[in-house]
């Protein structure tokens, strides 16, 4: 495919303004949305064979909502091929900072690494492995670090297939360069190599890593130990998560700076941790892009927790009686598999549009007694692209029953606590 010249229109919706960067999977351009003039970033595949990777990247990014992760806004099939439309993250990459200024002060480098840990902790909780964590893919925006370029990212739950080496030499973990499966530990290695580069000006090599504390007076033994543990060649001995790396650095994650994995209304019916576990587990079992749980409050159905795409916007929303498919299921007590949401006259289009995420297919399950359910569990968009069918209802009903059991156990535990207090 050819490069997109300035002035190229994409799908009558966007206009290319200038190139930003070129990577192995595609070129990124600054563009303008025709409807309102807003600036966006457009990624365009360099080769036809990368079109499938673009579809995977779009699907993975569509379910991610976090201030430290670039957000996908649109996926357009145009006469120029598929393009991804993303938010325009303004600011230099850590790579450009290093090339322009050399090594960064240690305290500043650690803070950038901590913020990067927030991004990695979030995407790993969503079962996404980035596979190319490096300074060029970490942008220093107004509010801090933002992780970009998910061109070779993968769903950690998808079946692993043999691949060639992926990632960038000297930032990619040894097991990835050897063609083995990537994991969150691989991303931890990439971030540790990035921190090393921020401190020394260049990434570590396998032959000459050694102790930084012995070479640089500003590097503490604690930092030295954290880097050694995160750069361990054997992934089984390496720090297992971004949270562990942040703790090893002595910083920890500041969850108030990022969007929660699952959000609850101020006074949920159950503990936030219980609701988080339910929606996250349900989505994981079904391999879904999103899941939510809502409870009846009078005649209204109130969304109390959600995971995945649209999570921030759906929580706290009230549906009146008969408004939307979920409200119908709550009223009837009968589970429904909706192969195509847009073709169902009950589908709440306005609500979906307000969250920024319009599902293609959904499974809606009542929670509680069939004659009088007190809530619903919704599962949206299978990641394999297939629609939900009636054959999925039995498996979904078993999950709804497990959710009910979890809520009952929580209530019982609260009762026992109250009685023994």
**Under a CB-based contact definition with an 8 Å cutoff, are residues 94 and 194 in contact?**
yes
User: Residue 39's domain spans which residues?
Assistant: 9-87
- Assess whether 170 and 224 both reside in one domain: yes
CA distance 393 to 371: 18
* Final residue before a domain boundary, out of 257, 281, 298: 257
Widest Cα–Cα separation across the chain:
72
pLDDT band at 256 (very low <50, low <70, confident <90, very high): very low
- Assess whether 57 and 101 both reside in one domain: no
Residues involved in catalysis:
132
Confirm whether 2 is domain-assigned. Answer: no
pLDDT band at 415 (very low <50, low <70, confident <90, very high): very low
- Assess whether 107 and 246 both reside in one domain: yes
Confirm whether 384 is domain-assigned. Answer: yes
Mean pLDDT estimate for the chain: 83
Average pLDDT over residues 263-286: 67
Instruction: List, in sequence order, every residue forming a beta bridge with 85; answer none if it has no partner.
Output: 42, 74
Write the pLDDT tens digit of every residue in 303-347. 888 888 777 678 878 877 777 899 889 888 899 999 998 888 888
Dihedral sign, CA of 233, 235, 236, 237? positive
The whole-number pLDDT of residue 347 equals: 87
Token representation of residue 86:
């993303």
- CATH code of the domain covering residue 243: 1.10.510.10
Write the pLDDT tens digit of every residue in 337-386. 999 988 888 888 777 777 777 889 999 999 887 777 888 999 999 888 89
**Under a CB-based contact definition with an 8 Å cutoff, are residues 172 and 166 in contact?**
yes
- For 169, 212, 218, the CA distances from 189, given in Å and listed in that order, are 12, 16, 22
């Amino acid at each position: 495919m050819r490069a997109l010249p300035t002035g190229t229109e994409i799908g009558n919706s966007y206009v290319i303004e200038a190139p930003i960067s070129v990577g192995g999977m595609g070129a990124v351009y600054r563009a303008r949305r025709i409807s309102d003039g807003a600036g966006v970033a457009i990624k365009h595949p360099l080769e036809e064979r990368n079109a499938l990777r673009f579809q995977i990247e779009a699907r993975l990014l569509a379910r991610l909502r976090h201030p430290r992760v670039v957000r996908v806004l649109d996926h357009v099939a145009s006469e120029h091929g598929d393009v991804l439309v993303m938010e325009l993250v303004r600011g230099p990459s850590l790579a450009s900072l290093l090339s322009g200024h050399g090594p960064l002060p240690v305290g500043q480098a650690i803070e950038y690494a901590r913020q990067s840990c927030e991004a990695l902790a979030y995407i790993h909780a969503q079962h996404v492995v980035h596979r190319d964590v490096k300074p060029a893919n970490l942008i220093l925006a107004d509010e801090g670090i933002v992780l970009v370029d998910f061109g070779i990212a993968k769903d950690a739950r998808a079946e692993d297939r043999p691949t060639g080496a992926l990632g960038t030499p000297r930032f990619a973990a040894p097991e990835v360069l050897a063609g083995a499966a990537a994991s969150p530990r691989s991303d931890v290695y990439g971030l540790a190599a990035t921190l090393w580069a921020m401190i020394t000006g260049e990434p570590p090599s396998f032959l000459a890593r050694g102790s930084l504390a012995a070479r640089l007076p500003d590097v503490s033994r604690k930092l030295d130990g954290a880097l050694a543990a995160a750069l361990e060649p054997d992934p089984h001995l390496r720090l297992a998560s971004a949270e562990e790396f942040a703790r090893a650095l002595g910083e920890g994650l500041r969850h108030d700076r990022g969007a929660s994995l699952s959000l609850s209304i101020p006074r949920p019916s159950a503990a936030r941790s219980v609701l988080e576990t339910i929606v996250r587990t349900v989505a994981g079992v079904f391999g879904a892009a999103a899941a939510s749980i809502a409870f009846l409050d009078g005649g209204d159905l109130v969304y109390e927790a959600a995971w995945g795409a649209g999570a921030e916007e759906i929580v706290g929303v009230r549906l009146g009686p008969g408004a939307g498919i979920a409200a119908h299921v709550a009223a009837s007590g009968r589970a429904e598999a909706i192969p195509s949401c847009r073709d169902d006259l009950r589908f709440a289009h306005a609500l979906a549009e307000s969250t920024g995420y319009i599902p293609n297919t959904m499974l809606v399950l009542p929670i509680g007694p069939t004659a009088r359910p007190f809530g619903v569990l919704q599962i949206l968009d299978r990641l394999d692209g297939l629609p939900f069918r009636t054959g999925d209802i039995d498996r979904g009903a078993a999950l709804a029953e497990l959710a009910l059991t979890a809520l009952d156990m929580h209530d019982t535990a609260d009762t026992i606590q109250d009685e023994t207090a």
